[in-house]
Each structure stands twice: as C-alpha cells, then as structure tokens.
Structure 1
Amino acid sequence: MNRIAVRAAIHVAAVFAIYLSVAMLIPAAVDLFYGNDDWRSFAFTAMFMGALALAVALATQGHKPPANTRFGFLLVNFLWLTLAIAGAVPFMTSSLQLSVTDAFFESVSGITTTGSTVINGLDNAPPGVLIWRSLLNFMGGLGVIALGLFLLPFLNIGGVSYFKIESSDIEERPFERFQTFAVSLIGIYTALVTACAIAYAAAGMEAFDAINHAMSTLATGGMATSDTSFIRYAGQPAILWVGTIFMFVGSLPFSIMILFAVRGRLDALRDPQIRVFAGYCIVFAVSVAVYLSLRTGMPFLTALTHTAFNFMSVISTTGFASDDYTLWGPFAVACIFVATFMGGCSGSTTGGIKAYRFLILFELLANGLRRLIYPNSVTPVRYGDRIVDADMQRAVVLFIASFFVLWAIGTILMAATGLDLVTSMTGVLTALTNVGPGLGPIIGPVGNFSSLPDAAKWISSAAMLLGRLEILAVLVVFTPTFWGR
C-alpha cells in the first residue's frame, strides 16, 4: 500500500465528510423551527466540519485511486471511521454536551444502524439531536446497502450481489451503469421511508416521531425518540404491525427490490435467502406467542403482535422493543438470544450473520457428512440452483470463525472492565451483530449503555464497526501483508 492510495482514500473520505456537514443543516433547521437554541451549535458545526473537510479534500486531490482490492479495503475503513468521527461532533457541541467517548459511541451506533444509546432523557431531548440520530441511521442504512451489494462482493469477502455469482442475471449485469443502480437504490429507499412515515402517522403516531422512526425502521437502526422505545405504543397494535412490516421490508435484498420494481422481475423474489429469513422469523414469532399465551394467559393475537414486533426487531437487527421481553420466561429469552445471531438478507440494511451464510453453511455441513459415507464423491455446494464457488465458501467460513473468535475476545475484554458475564457477553454480541439492546438489567430492552465504563464503550464501538464492515474488511487492514509490496 503506497502513499498515493492512502492520499486518495483520505480525499474520498473528506468529500463524504462534506456531504455529512451539509446534512447537519437539517437538524439545525429543525431546532430553529421548534425554537431550540441548539440550532446554533448544529449550524456552527456544519460550517466548521464543512470547511475542514473541504480543506482536506483540496489538499489531497489530484491523485487517481488505484484500481485494486487493497484500495477498496482501505477506502471502506476510512469512510466509516471518518463518518463516525464527523457524526460525533454535533453530540459534543449540542446542549447534551456528551463526552468524546459517549459522542463517538452514539455516532458509531447511528451510522452502523445498531441503535444502542448512551443518552438518557430522550423524551425531552432537543428535536435536532433526535433528528440527527435518525439521519445517521438513514445515511448509514444507505451505506450498508451499497457496501453489501456492490463493494464487499467484489472484495471477495462475502455478500450475495446481483453483480456477482448468485445473480439471477448471471450472464449479464442487471444495470448497465452503476449510476442507474445508485439512483434506483436511493429512490426506492427514500420512497419506502416516506411510506413508512405515512403509515406510522396513519396508525396514530405523531408526525415528528413518525418521521424519526421511519428513518430508523427502514435502516433497521432502532434509534427511538423515547427512553422506552416502542413500549409507549404497546397498546397500539396498528403501530407495532406497521413497524413489523417495514422492518421486514428493510431486511430484504434491495437488489431484488430494484429488479422487481424497475424491471418487473417477479422471479427475483425466488431468492432462497428470503424464504429462509421469512421462515425463521415466523417460527420464532409464532412459537414464542404460543408459549407466552399459555404461560401468562395473554390473548394469542396480542401475544403474536408483540412477539412478531420484537423478534422482527431483533432478527432484523433494528433494536426497537415494545415490551421487556426478558420477563417473558426462559424459553422466550433463549429464543431472543439465538435470534440475535440471525440477521436478515444480504444486500439489506441488517447486520448479523445473515440468512445466505446459514444456507451455505448448512450446505457445507451436509456435503461434509455425505462425504463421510462416500469419500470419493464430488458434490458441489449450491445456493438455490447455482453453484457456490470456493471463494464464497471460504468467505463464509472465515466470517463465521472470525465472528465467534472476536465475540470471545470481546467478552473477556468487557468483563475486564468490571461488567458481569451477561452484560459482557450480550453487549459484544449485540455490537457485532448491530442489533442494539442486549440482555440483563443494564443493557436490556429497557436499559441503555450510559452506565458502562468508558473502556467498555470503546470496545463496543470497535465491535459495532467490525460487525458493520463484515469483520474481514477491517481485520485485513491490520495484517502485514496488506501494507507490504
């Protein structure tokens, strides 16, 4: 990796920081509209960050980025780290005056669409801060989709892309120009957010909350406007079902949505990972609803409303909660814990291990068991009706192995800060999977991360970035080979 590549990566990151500084004017306008003095801090931060980013962009321009995978890895890390740092500044300059640690944690949680928070008193927080958290989710969601659909598959570290092997257009690119893809993606994503906001408002949610929650719902980010998340809407099933439906939509592959919406490709909906994802969502929600109904006497439809919402929230890695599900009983808590690993589909806004990896993993397992009986047999690993090549198989195994190794290391490090085992274990897990809430009284669905030691917050922030960038894209940058000639 040479200096030209680093300089080019810094330049691109600085350009994106300029865009982010412009976005800061939105919460400034919101605060000004509501008569909150925080508009000045947002406006000042926007000008300062914009000027600084512009200066860096001008100082680093003129070098053409090298067209290789090393630059791709470097750029991904630079972009997300830059956005995390720039996104943290408004939290420090606002009336909340968050510390550097808390501001960075909140920003990372926003752009990685995790949804964990260190802010207490969200119900009375400045409207600009609430909008900024939701905007970070909105922008992070778009970035996550682009990352999963376009960049990571070409870096050969995972992701089912319609530009790659698993395409239903395997003989041709589904779009002739990336610009067409980007415009379609932004249009569909924005349209879905708008539809979600309208649906929330029609179901009885106030307009300001509907806009905030719509951005967080489609981004599967989970930034709520209340300390109690969706518990305040527990008696409004229409709102919970709107959230459930749009969290499900946000968990679907956006490449398939584009093929379906733009080209009318009904066959695109046959992607095997959609069936797997929908299958385990239904199984979890229905089985726990039956358990909850039998255990507590709650009407089945009421139980199903809450289990569908909360399991969809956890599986889609959104992080909203309509109830304290840790009180539902051991079977329900065990299911929630397992659901934390799952995730949605590749090319969606979700985190977690994701459905396509489970498909390929179980195919590998089935083939391995088959070869114990027929050691000389040659059976290809398939994803639907397509053969999964060796690179994809390797990427899946590497990701899952790295995931569990980092989970173990992170748990030990969190425990070293003085946290109990449940908080340490689920805190790292929820960060790596970008879910949001963990388990236990501290970081559970009715808690937050504010009381954690600063060291634990930095560990969680690192884990959130690792999980969002699919782990391998970060780890490779720390290898001597990456920086060698």
Structure 2
Amino acid sequence: MLTQITKLPLLVILMGISVLAMLLPAGFAWTAAEYYEGRVFLYGALLFGFLTFFLAIAMADRPRSTRHRRHLMALLGLFVLLPIMLAVPFHQALRTTTFLNAYVEMVSALTTTGLTLFPDPDRLPKSLHLWRALVGWMGGFFIWVGAIAILAPMALGGFEVRTRFGARGSALDTRLGAGHSQITRVADFSDRIRTYGVRLLPIYTGLTTALWIGLVVAGETPFVGLVHAMSTLATSGISPVGGVSGGVAGFGGEVMIAVFLAFAISRQTFASDMQHSETPSLWRDPEIRLASVLVVSLTGFLFLRHWIGAYEVDEELNLVAGLTSLWGSFFTVLSFLTTAGFESQAWEASRNWSGLETPGLLLMGLALIGGGVATTAGGAKLMRVYALYLHGLREMEKLVHPSSIGGAGTEARHLRGRGAYMAWVFFMLMALSVALIMALFALTGQDFESAMILTIASLTTTGPVVEVAVAEPLSVVDLSDPAKLVLAGAMILGRLETLAIIALLSPEIWRR
C-alpha cells in the first residue's frame, strides 16, 4: 500500500498530506470552543480527501515520465495550485474576506514568506493562526526535501555554486549522510524524495518539538510557543501575537529562537556534508563563518551607532541599557539574515535609547543576502555571496601580484572561478527580477517606496519587512487585486528562484 502511494504524482501526495494536516486545526478548534471553524476544517478534510482519493485512483496506473521537468513542474504546482486547496477552509472559516485574500495568505504561508493580509492578530481565531503556522511549517519541510532531492542534482537553488559538473548537467556531490553515495547518481527523483523525506522528517519534527518545549519552559503559553516554534524552523515569521515581542517568554524565549535560527544558516547543522562521509566541523563551513561575520559586525555597528547617538543627545549611559540594545540588534540582525523577520522586544528600546530611526535599508539588505543553501531561508544565499567574496579577494591579489597563482585547494579554485560566475549570473537575474516586479507594482498604482518594499519582502520571502522597514507599515490587504496577484507571483518566484524558472523553460530540460 505504501509503495503504491509513493508511486503517485508528487502533487497528489502533497494534497493527501494537506488533507491530513486539516485535521489538526479541526481538533484544536473543538478544544478551543471554535466549533464553526472546527466543522469547516473537518468538512474540508472530507471534501478534499475524497477528491485526492479519486485522483489517486485515476492516476495510479498511469506511466510517469522520468524527465527532470516533471519534478520542477511539481514544485511549481506545489506553490501555485496547492494554496487553492489550502485557502478554501481559511476563506470559509473567516467569512469576512475574499477568496483572493485567502489564496495570497496561503501562498505567503506555504512559501514561508509570512507576509500577512491580517496584521491584527485579534481578527483571526486561534485555529486559523494555527493553520497559517502549520502551512508554513509544511512549506519549510517541503523546501528541505525539494532542495536536496530535486534542486541539488539539477544544480539549482544555490547548489550550482559548488557543483562540479561531471555527467552532463548532473551534480556529483549531493549526498545526505553516509550510505547514500549512489542515490545521487542512479536513483529516480521519486526515490530521492521518498528517501530524503523519511530521513529529514524526524529531524525537522524533533527540532520543532524541542524548541516548543524550550519556549514553554521559558514561560510562553503552549499555543503561542507551538506557533513560534513552527515559524522559527520554517523561517516564516508567522505569529498569533504580532511577533515574539508579543509573547510572554521574554528574552529567554528569544535566546531559544536565536539558537534554532542557526538551522537556517547552513544545511550542515541538520545534514552532513554532501561531499564527505564524515561529519565536518561546523566552523569550517563557509556559510556559518560568513553569517557569523555579518551578524557580529552589523550588531557591533548598530550598537556603536546607538551608543554614539545616545551620547550625542546626552542620555544616561548604563550597562543594562547597553546590553539591552546589544541583544536587540543581535537578535533582529540574525532574524532578518535568516529571513524569519522576527523583531526583538528590545529593538524598540534600542531605537528609543539611541534616538535614531529604524535602519530599514540595512534590514532589507540582510534579507537580500539570506540564509544557507537547502535551508528554509530565502534571499540570495550565503554561499553565492561567499563565492563572490573569494573571487573579489583573488582579483585584488592579482592587482598586487599579477603573476601569482591562487591556492587553497581545488574547492576554493572552483568557487573563485565557475562558482563566482554562476553566483554573478544569479545576482544579475535577481536584479532583473527586482526591476520587473517593481515595474509591475508601479503599473498597479504603487509608489516607488511601496513597490520596492513589497518586492524585497516577496522575493526574499521575508514578509515582516513591510512592517519594520518603514515608519508606517504597509497595508497589504488594501492593495488592488492585480497588485495582490503580482505579490503572489513574486513570492512564488522568490521561493523557487529565477534560475529554476529559467531551467523549467529551457528546451534542454524538456528533453531530459
């Protein structure tokens, strides 16, 4: 039975998983005395359960193509079509919004963007907050599996930077742990998805449970702690209380969240290196080292800037205020670098202490850099930035010593050469994507600032940018319908990345 299920098309399997997921908010709604919402989710599970069952029967014996485009199309269908099903119970349970708003909300959750059309937490019942967080959590897991099982062997999603192409268009170093050296080279993508899904699900679930328990121990309520735990592992930034600052866990809860945000910096934190069977040193991972440098340096910059600002206005300088400002800067910088977008409860105190405005441009820059390859974080990815850094460093060395030969091994030479070239191609495509999306927003009536912020928030999957990057948060729900469609498309583009879309349209991919 299980074998027959795994042979179904990926989108049908994901529909079945979503049907089972609807039972969780249905049961929670009944315990929270939200009986109408509970019935909506239960009826939705029954309706789409029958639909999924009939689709499974109809497609069970159909021959499936082994071409790569089928799996890229499945990923695209995951973010375009699946939110239609996920939006039905949301729309029916809320009753005071349009279906388009519900669809955009589900696209935002599934792509782990976390940009909400309902910024007032009191407007949504608890069961809908749980549904948003659960959809985002599932989206994060799908990204984990899809990146390693589908994008890695096709050298997409950031893997193109480190991939050395042996066989035509195939990555040779995309293994998850010991004992899987042959999967990358010979296994069908469906087998890869099943293998990596089974191996990663206990890790993903265990990390979420551990963080949930930690938040509850820190003083958070179980419901809010669960939502924040799922949102942290998925880097969706979804919260039922307006962010971690609205919770009751305090700084202890923020420390817990900061520790688990490390899993969005590098895949080495939850999966062994894909080039070696032994477990590598985390500090030797370039993504972790680059993220550490960025977080520490920018935190120091903001702290010194705050300190100088407070000194200039002759405010009282004391140790408690300084440490509060330091932690607020550290947590917020780390959160936006991993594209979670959580704002520390000390961030407001830090700004008030300094008397300076919110550095929204800096936060958007962090979101553009993003987290690690094959993690739930969005953005350009740290590995691409690292490759360009190595290339730039080597070029400056050649200016001083034109006849020098670059060393540091084969891997470093590859990153400085082809890796940097692929990273530069991606950044050019991302710049074109930003220009195109901003132009589309401008055609829908948005001014330059609003168009830029909405574009950065969607392409980097960092929805909270629209609330913290400007003095007055943007009202997404007031956008026109065409602008909301552009927003949904931009979030999908930001999640899949432009290279994957171009690969999907490439004739070579369609022949493979």
TM-score category, normalised to shorter length: 0.7 to 0.9
Mapping for residues 29-428 of structure 1, pairs under 5 Å: 29-36=27-34, 37-160=36-159, 174-176=178-180, 178=192, 181-226=196-241, 228-233=242-247, 236-247=250-261, 249-259=262-272, 265-267=279-281, 269-296=283-310, 297=315, 299-322=321-344, 323=347, 329=356, 332-368=359-395, 385=412, 387-388=414-415, 392-428=419-455
Give me the whole-angstrom Cα distance separating, in 2, the residues matched to 1:63 and 1:87: 26
Give me the whole-angstrom Cα distance separating, in 2, the residues matched to 1:302 and 1:397: 38
Deviations, residues 372-431 of structure 1 (Å, cap 9, x unaligned): 788888758978657349765554233211111010111121122222221110110111
- With the length of structure 1 as denominator, give the TM-score of the two structures: 0.86
Give me the whole-angstrom Cα distance separating, in 1, the residues matched to 2:72 and 2:399: 38
User: Larger deviation: 455-464 or 70-79?
Assistant: 70-79
User: Larger deviation: 36-45 or 474-483?
Assistant: 474-483
- With the length of structure 2 as denominator, give the TM-score of the two structures: 0.82
Cα distance, 1:110–1:291 mapped onto 2, change above 3 Å: same
Would the aligned equivalents of 2:394 and 2:406 in 1 still touch at CA under 8 Å?
A: yes
Cα shift at 1:86: 2.1
Cα shift at 1:139: 0.7
Would the aligned equivalents of 2:112 and 2:140 in 1 still touch at CA under 8 Å?
A: yes
Give me the whole-angstrom Cα distance separating, in 2, the residues matched to 1:305 and 1:257: 26
Would the aligned equivalents of 1:133 and 1:223 in 2 still touch at CA under 8 Å?
A: yes
Give me the whole-angstrom Cα distance separating, in 1, the residues matched to 2:248 and 2:351: 16
Q: CA RMSD in A?
A: 3.6
Deviations, residues 31-67 of structure 1 (Å, cap 9, x unaligned): 0111102011111111112222222233233234333
What does residue 18 of structure 2 align with? 20
Give me the whole-angstrom Cα distance separating, in 2, the residues matched to 1:98 and 1:232: 25
Give me the whole-angstrom Cα distance separating, in 1, the residues matched to 2:237 and 2:17: 23
User: Larger deviation: 83-92 or 338-347?
Assistant: 83-92
- Where structure 1 has 5 or more consecutive residues not aligned to the other structure, the ranges are 1-7
What does residue 187 of structure 2 align with? none
Give me the whole-angstrom Cα distance separating, in 2, the residues matched to 1:385 and 1:301: 38
Would the aligned equivalents of 1:326 and 1:333 in 2 still touch at CA under 8 Å?
A: no
Cα distance, 1:382–1:170 mapped onto 2, change above 3 Å: farther
Cα distance, 1:269–1:440 mapped onto 2, change above 3 Å: closer
Give me the whole-angstrom Cα distance separating, in 2, the residues matched to 1:382 and 1:331: 43
Cα shift at 1:97: 4.3
Give me the whole-angstrom Cα distance separating, in 2, the residues matched to 1:35 and 1:402: 49
What does residue 5 of structure 1 align with? none
Cα shift at 1:135: 0.6
User: Larger deviation: 452-461 or 374-383?
Assistant: 374-383
Cα distance, 1:352–1:339 mapped onto 2, change above 3 Å: same
Would the aligned equivalents of 2:108 and 2:115 in 1 still touch at CA under 8 Å?
A: yes
Cα shift at 1:155: 1.3
Secondary structure, in 3 states, of the residue corresponding to 1:70?
A: helix
What does residue 188 of structure 2 align with? none
Would the aligned equivalents of 1:28 and 1:42 in 2 still touch at CA under 8 Å?
A: yes
Cα distance, 1:395–1:21 mapped onto 2, change above 3 Å: farther
